[in-house]
Amino acid sequence: MNELSLIGMMSIFTAGITIAIGSIGPAFGEARALAQALAAIAQQPDEANTITRTLFVGLAMVESTAIYCLVISMILIFANPFWEYAVAHAGG
Amino acid sequence: MLTNPDQLILWQYGIIKINATLAFTWGVMALLALVSYIVTRRLAVDPPLTKMQNLLEVIVFHVNLQIREISRQRPLRYLPLIGTLFLFILLSNLLAIVPGYIPPTSSLSTTTALALCVFVAVPAYGISQIGLWNYLKQYCRPTFFMLPFNIIGEFTRTLALAVRLYGNIMSGVVIGAIFLSFVPFFFPVLMQILGLLTGTIQAYIFSVLTMVYIASAIPPHDDKESKNKTPGDKHE
């Protein structure tokens, strides 16, 4: 196995692992926040607007960790600097 | 595969390059300006309103309502910034249904520019409301030792704003392109619909977060404007 295929293999493998682990945590966090918000709306329907808006802001914050992982895995697959370096030096 | 509209050069003269991001940003801006111009030429007060005026009034009213509920202040100050951000991001995401169009928000340069606007606007609003010295003192709250973390927070939230919008829209575009290449018929449409939903939510979240940041730069109990406001004064 030459270096180029090793880099390609590791990039794709790492991208998969990144998105897998990186989506578990935010999913748990968002589910927890959603459950709490639903319970709060059920108890106080009058405050549904405020709760929903705060929930959205909080979800956006939690979600940004998942987005970071997504961007990293996209970079690994489509714009991997090591891959481009290796291709340029292999004369490809 | 094209993952970045910055790399798609449409027109080039010497070192001046017009890439797809710039061109589509101008397109969205022109569309917004043109529609606003046409609608606001013939504003009416009496009931037979045009459909476009109704639409515009609904948008402005709800943006106002959201701003008022978040900041507990009169929305007129914040409407130009928040409304423009919301409408621009919303339109540039929703136009993704037009064939051949690439959302300018799927390029990190556009979203960075939008986030930099927020980065400048937050201290600008804060200083204009409470003065330079009071604003700078806020960085030392609750204690002086929080100063570096408050400054770091200022930068990281700008980064998070930019990367969040970019990541959401770019992933929608890329996933759509990937699916288009191997399941051509039905599934890409579903992803496109999901992309429209994500785009709308991201436009909302971007403007709400901007408003939250601005509201957090202004001390909570300093609502001198809302003090002499009567309770029934919901509409401006």
Of B168, B204, B208, the CB nearest to A67: B168
Residues B225, B191: Cα–Cα separation, whole Å: 46
Averaged confidence pLDDT in chain A: 88
Contact B170 A74 (CB under 8 A): yes
Q: What confidence category does residue A14 fall into, taking pLDDT thresholds of 50, 70 and 90?
A: very high
* Three-class DSSP category at B32: helix
Residues A32, B135: Cα–Cα separation, whole Å: 35
Residues B119, B77: Cα–Cα separation, whole Å: 17
pLDDT in tens, chain B (236 residues): 566 777 777 777 878 888 888 889 999 999 999 999 998 888 878 778 888 888 889 999 999 998 988 888 888 889 999 999 999 999 999 998 888 888 999 888 999 999 999 999 999 998 988 888 888 888 887 788 888 888 888 888 898 899 889 988 988 888 888 888 888 778 888 888 888 998 998 999 999 999 988 988 887 654 454 444 444 444 44
Is the Cβ–Cβ distance between B105 and B197 less than 8 Å? no
Q: To which H or E segment does residue B188 belong?
A: helix B187-217
Per residue in A40-77, pLDDT tens?
A: 999 999 988 888 888 888 888 888 888 889 888 888 88
Cβ-count burial of B46 within 10 angstroms (0-12 exposed, 13-18 middle, 19+ buried)?
Answer: exposed
Is the Cβ–Cβ distance between B94 and B199 less than 8 Å? yes
pLDDT the model gives residue A29: 93
Residues B187, B231: Cα–Cα separation, whole Å: 51
pLDDT the model gives residue A91: 67
Is the predicted pLDDT of residue A26 greater than 70, yes or no? yes
pLDDT the model gives residue B220: 61
Is the Cβ–Cβ distance between B100 and B10 less than 8 Å? no
Cβ–Cβ contact B175 with A under 8 A:
no
Residues B222, B224: Cα–Cα separation, whole Å: 6
Q: What is the mean pLDDT of residues A25-38?
A: 94
Per residue in B187-200, pLDDT tens?
A: 888 888 888 998 99
pLDDT the model gives residue B231: 47
Chain B positions touching A67 (Cβ under 8 A) are 163-164, 167-168
Place of tokens 């969205």: B28
Name which of B80, B122, B128 is nearest B225 in CA terms: B128
Q: What is the ipTM of this complex?
A: 0.71
* Three-class DSSP category at B137: helix
Whole-model pTM: value is: 0.82
Residues B199, B169: Cα–Cα separation, whole Å: 7
State the smallest CA–CA distance between residue B130 and chain A in angstroms.
Answer: 25
Cβ–Cβ contact A48 with B under 8 A:
no
Place of tokens 């404007």: B225
Is the Cβ–Cβ distance between B78 and B125 less than 8 Å? yes
pLDDT the model gives residue A92: 54
